[in-house]
Amino acid sequence: MASASLKRPLDILVIGAGVSGLSCARELLRRSPGISLSVLEANDRVGGRTLADSEGTDLGAGYIGPGQDHILAIVEELGLKVTKVYTAGKTTQCLHDVVSYYQGLVPPISPIGTIDLNTAMQEMERLVNLCDMNDPRKTPNAVELDRTTVQQAIEKLCWTSEARSVLRTAIRAIMCAEPCEVSTLGLLWYIKRSGGTRRIFETENGAQDSKVVGGYGIVAPMMAARLPAGTVRLNKPVRTIDSRDATTVTVTCSDGERFVARTVVLAIAPVQQLRIEYLPALPSGKMQALQQFKMGHIIKTFTYYDTPFWREKKLNGSAVCDDGIVVVSMDDTKPDGTLPCIMGFVLTDQATKYATMSTAVMMEALGAHYAKLFKDERGRRPLRIKRKNWSEEPWVGGCYTSVPGPLCLTVHLTALEAPLAEGRILVAGTEVAKVNSGYVDGAVEAGERIARNALVKLGQLPSREYDVMITPPPSKLLPLTPLEYTWIETHLPSMTSFIVAGAASLVGVAAFLVTRWW
């Protein structure tokens, strides 16, 4: 062991062979083909939070959408295809224990609830628009918004329990956390970087538009295979990063092997950065920041049937449920119709509840859930299930991404992104992406940008390229088209105007009655 220390130091050592680390390595070699480079991966596989099993089922990140041009460029380069998520038919909603089906965007809630939800969504969109994309601290009322939990915001925004429930469910599904755990500014910024409220929630033309044929999880292994042989080292958990020397950084793995590099890129989630021992010790701001960004809490499940019975009933398999084991489900049947399957997200308290339960118990609960949602007893008879509890992955810690709690953005973000050791240790990973943070696309953006930052540091790129996001040309695979608003969304009165109008009508009716009868 430790022979590397006797050799010339590596130019760059990337820690983490998830999509961000691999994108970083790819960009480094593209920009500087002669660079010496290694990528260390703690796990026995590459891919991080993306993972496809032998059936091409995405146990991790599964969806790709228009506007995600960083990852789309890679998917295209790798010669992969994408396929639309099945959306033919009606979507299922279970709200306050009542199941209903609907087409389009307006979930079937009461007229008052609809007005209320629409008002709240418009207000959220207004706040998202005000949010400063590059520096969330420059958002109007940033401190106040960052001290307010999303639960508080929902309570303030919504008048009806229906609208509250719909919003709470939507936010749980996008953050894998409870609204009371998330900073309002954190949520707004997250949505902003994902292209807005519509883009983040939508399937068609939204973040859940498509899937990669063969699995999103095959992208990372394919990227790794295109790196020079021996670049990626598996089963190399990093235990110590020593930057006490002025020009090099020495990285020691669990097994004692040492790597010496001029620059180190941390392409791992904040909580995993926290687990490493640093010499010298981390500055206090970084130590605090790394404690704030905990990972979301999710078990991704797949329930297989002998037939996609929901399609017979003109249901698309997409379902949102405000209570029960699965919050959001989607049809995950293969494009050729084989392996009929419903994918379901089991989140937060339900993830805690089912984490220790047997597969049989979980299969029964999933079956009962889908039987209820699709109003079909065949739901109760799944052939088998798959499940992936991402909090059990020691080198990940949770999914989809880090949850921005109160104060995360206004107090801790700067330290989270900050390099260490005068720029010899840089930070990548989807959490620090300038767009689509939390998505695979953000992992690519951050990885590529930090690669260029490293090359600037090494004098191989001009300093004007430091920390500049470069967006690939718009993808032809999934072109970005504007989202259209329905007439009802743009013309529905707000809750306030509804109440004012209601009060005015009452006065009018009263006046009418008075003049008629008295």
Binding site for a copy of itself (CB under 8 A): 147-149, 151-152, 178, 180-181, 237, 239-240, 254, 256, 271, 274-278, 281-285, 287-288, 291-292, 294-295, 297, 299, 348-349, 351-352, 355-356, 389-394, 397-398, 405-407, 411, 415
Q: What is the CA radius of gyration of the chain?
A: 25
Q: Which CB atom, from 394 or from 479, has the smaller least distance to a copy of itself?
A: 394
Q: Which is nearer to a copy of itself, 260 or 282 (CB)?
A: 282
With beta carbons less than 8 A apart as the criterion, state whether 505 and 124 touch: no
Shortest reach from residue 289's CB to a copy of itself, in Å = 9
Q: What is the Cα–Cα distance from 198 to 475, expressed in whole angstroms?
A: 20
| Angstrom distances, CA of residue 11 to CA of 15, 227, 234, 247, 447 | 13, 16, 19, 11, 16
CB of residue 275 vs a copy of itself: minimum separation in angstroms? Answer: 5
- Helix (H) / strand (E) element for 258: namely strand 258-266
Q: How far is the CB of 269 from a copy of itself (least distance, A)?
A: 10
Pairing of strands 210-212, 249-253: unpaired
> Which tokens is 2 given?
């430790």
Q: CA dihedral in degrees (53, 79, 22, 222; nearest 10)?
A: 40
Report the interhelical angle of 111-130 vs 495-517 (nearest 10°).
Answer: 140
- Report the alpha-carbon distance of residue 128 to residue 187 in Å, rounded: 9
Min. distance of Cβ 291 from a copy of itself in angstroms? Answer: 4
Distance CA 454, CA 423 (A): 8
The number of residues making up the chain comes to 518
Tokens at 42, concatenated: 């703690």
> Residue 100 CB, nearest distance to a copy of itself (Å)?
27
- SS in 3 state form for 428-444? CCHHHCCCCCCCHHHHH
Residue placing its CB nearer to a copy of itself in the complex, 148 or 494: 148
CB of 65 to a copy of itself, least distance (A): 28
Nearer CB in complex with a copy of itself: 152/231: 152
Pick the closer one to a copy of itself by CB: 118 or 183. 183
Q: Which is nearer to a copy of itself, 29 or 271 (CB)?
A: 271
* For a copy of itself, the closer CB: 69 or 181: 181
Separation between Cα atoms, residue 182 and residue 172, nearest integer Å: 10
Identify which of residues 279 and 339 has a Cβ nearer to a copy of itself in the complex.
279
Element (H, E) at 202: none
CB of 398 to a copy of itself, least distance (A): 7
Shortest Å, Cβ 151 to a copy of itself: 6
